[in-house]
Structure 1
């Protein structure tokens, strides 16, 4: 669910909850009670994120099916949140986007193959909406809070090229100090 869809679900569920509560208060029957329960379910579902597509830790290794959840996987939390968005390219590369509101820029660390070799994440070119990251390549992300994360692509599976499913395997590191050096 996109942020807009979650907002619409939340707002309409609040309105429905109020309406069903008034109806239940005036007519103590099962119809408004059922409506109230369903509208509360809408509120709860709009406030939760599918944990299958989120890891709050500042470093980790992830495998997920990028053809689900609109290609979105969230790493970190609060001011260290990075909502990554991916789409299919091949089994040797994958597209990364800066579309989520929390992302202010994405870049490729060309000719760098280890996260520890990123000395200054701010030096990369963050000027494009999308980047194609090669297998074993490194992407650098900047969020709207000015923090940086680095992602290394470990493996890409593509169901149109013989794999059983689409799957992205990457490791990442978020700099918790708001600095640009990952060495």
Structure 2
């Protein structure tokens, strides 16, 4: 049996993010915002392929103690209870003692004490910082540029597995995030007219996009895996739906409710969409009523 197999050997990171899964939605937005600013960030989901099959204890200990300029620890009740976050915490605090410098940057989700961290250490509160604001604060600590081109700012995000969203389709380059964790999708729309809009599969999280123009309601879709996902873009009219499949194999159906476009004479550039994500897996939307609509 092979032991001691570590991942990402020789890689250096400007910052590592250490967190519990319960706080992933917030941390993921921080990671994406840092990545958009050109910060080399260690966020586990960015390196799933490299971590697969490796000794995670050895890997995490090596990463958090040797190959980061800073570590941001997201403190919560769940964080101190999990085995792998304890590995990350101990490695980071051990390095901080050796360096005698500001290596660990704690962010609180609650009042849980972080074992090994002096009680006099200054914290930031997640409740007082948006993910975008925290990314800016991290960049300051790294001595890196805090500015972004306006179109690179993280897009709006709806985390529930189903809902209705309305957004300006000419802002954020037509991007909008839905879902969370492995069932996250980045919607990317373009070229809206008065009653239709184009969906593209360009985002890194999206494997394919298909048109489902044969049904009136998402629940009538049935098995979406039989749809054609071979084109880069699909145009959907009001009342029609598209289906996205992400790189983790999850499916999301999106129905175009309303499209307003100044190009077509409307006063605003707003698109309204209904969406459903099959967060439990599978591709059959006729079974979607069995899943709760909350996070």
TM range (shorter): 0.7 to 0.9
The equivalent of 1:103 in structure 2 is 206
The structure with the largest alpha-carbon Rg is: 2
The equivalent of 1:84 in structure 2 is 187
**Matched residue count:** 159
Q: In structure 2, do the counterparts of structure 1 residues 38 and 175 end up closer, same or farther at CA, with 3 Å as the change threshold?
A: closer
1:134 Cα shift? 0.9
The equivalent of 2:35 in structure 1 is 6
Unaligned runs of 5+ residues in structure 2 are 1-31, 41-67, 70-100, 102-136, 287-295
Question: How does the TM-score come out when normalised to structure 1?
Answer: 0.76
Q: Distance in 1 between matches of 2:145 and 2:159?
A: 22
Q: In structure 2, do the counterparts of structure 1 residues 61 and 44 end up closer, same or farther at CA, with 3 Å as the change threshold?
A: farther
CA RMSD, aligned part only? 3.0
Q: Distance in 1 between matches of 2:221 and 2:198?
A: 21
Q: Distance in 2 between matches of 1:43 and 1:107?
A: 39
1:92 Cα shift? 1.2
Q: Distance in 1 between matches of 2:177 and 2:227?
A: 22
Structure scoring higher RCO (CA < 8 A, sep ≥ 6) equals 1
Q: In structure 2, do the counterparts of structure 1 residues 45 and 147 end up closer, same or farther at CA, with 3 Å as the change threshold?
A: farther
Kindly indicate whether residue 162 of structure 2 is the aligned counterpart of residue 59 of structure 1: yes
Unaligned runs of 5+ residues in structure 1 are 16-20, 22-35
Correspondence for 2:250 among 118, 139, 147: 147
- Residues 27-46 of structure 1 mapped to structure 2, 5 A cutoff: 39-40=140-141
1:7 Cα shift? 4.3
Question: How does the TM-score come out when normalised to structure 2?
Answer: 0.48
CA contact (8 A) 1:117 1:182 kept: yes
CA contact (8 A) 1:56 1:76 kept: yes
Q: Distance in 1 between matches of 2:200 and 2:146?
A: 28
